[in-house]
Amino acid sequence: MKSMFGLETFIKINKCLFPVAGYGTRFLPATKAIPKEMLPILTKPLIQYGVEEAMSAGMTTMAMVTSKYKQAIKNHFEPHSDIEASIKDTAKESLLDEVNHASSVCNFTYIEQDKMLGLGHAIYTGKPLIGNEPFAVILPDDLCTSVSESVLKQMTKLYQQHPNCCIVAIEEVPMTEVDKYGVIDGELLEGSSNAYRVNSMVEKPSPENAPTNLAIIGRYILTPEIFDVLEKTPADKNGEIQITDALMILSKQGKVIAYKFDGERFDCGSVKGFVAATNAFAKKLL
Q: Using CB under 6 A, list all residues that contact ligand UTP.
A: 19-26, 36, 65, 113, 116-119, 121-122, 139, 141, 269
CA distance 152 to 156: 6
Question: Contact 52/102 with Cβ under 8 angstroms?
Answer: yes
Question: Contact 201/244 with Cβ under 8 angstroms?
Answer: yes
> Which run of H or E residues covers position 53?
helix 46-56
Q: Minimal distance in Å, beta carbon 228 to ligand UTP?
A: 20
Nearer to ligand UTP, 131 or 239 (CB): 239
Nearer to ligand UTP, 18 or 261 (CB): 18
Nearer to ligand UTP, 9 or 75 (CB): 75
**Angle, vertex CA 24, rays to CA 18 and CA 26, nearest 5:** 140
Question: Contact 67/21 with Cβ under 8 angstroms?
Answer: yes
CA distance 235 to 98: 40
Q: Which of 228, 63, 53, 54 is nearest to 130 (CA)?
A: 63
Q: Minimal distance in Å, beta carbon 279 to ligand UTP?
A: 21
Q: Minimal distance in Å, beta carbon 197 to ligand UTP?
A: 25
Question: Contact 109/62 with Cβ under 8 angstroms?
Answer: yes
Q: Minimal distance in Å, beta carbon 21 to ligand UTP?
A: 3
Nearer to ligand UTP, 13 or 65 (CB): 65
Q: Minimal distance in Å, beta carbon 65 to ligand UTP?
A: 6
User: Going along the chain, which residue ranges are E strands?
Assistant: 15-19, 40-41, 44-45, 61-66, 107-112, 135-138, 142-145, 166-172, 182-188, 195-203, 214-222, 256-260, 264-267
Q: Minimal distance in Å, beta carbon 270 to ligand UTP?
A: 8
Q: Minimal distance in Å, beta carbon 244 to ligand UTP?
A: 12
Question: Contact 200/258 with Cβ under 8 angstroms?
Answer: no
Q: Minimal distance in Å, beta carbon 170 to ligand UTP?
A: 16
At residue 68, what is the residue type? Answer: K
Nearer to ligand UTP, 39 or 195 (CB): 39
Nearer to ligand UTP, 117 or 276 (CB): 117
Task: Output the residue with the shortest Cβ distance to ligand UTP.
Answer: 22
Contacts of 99 (CB under 8 A, 6+ apart): 48, 76, 77
Nearer to ligand UTP, 139 or 249 (CB): 139
Q: Give the count of beta carbons closer than 10 Å to the beta carbon of residue 254.
A: 14
Nearer to ligand UTP, 134 or 140 (CB): 140
Q: Which of 41, 39, 40, 37 is nearest to 21 (CA)?
A: 37
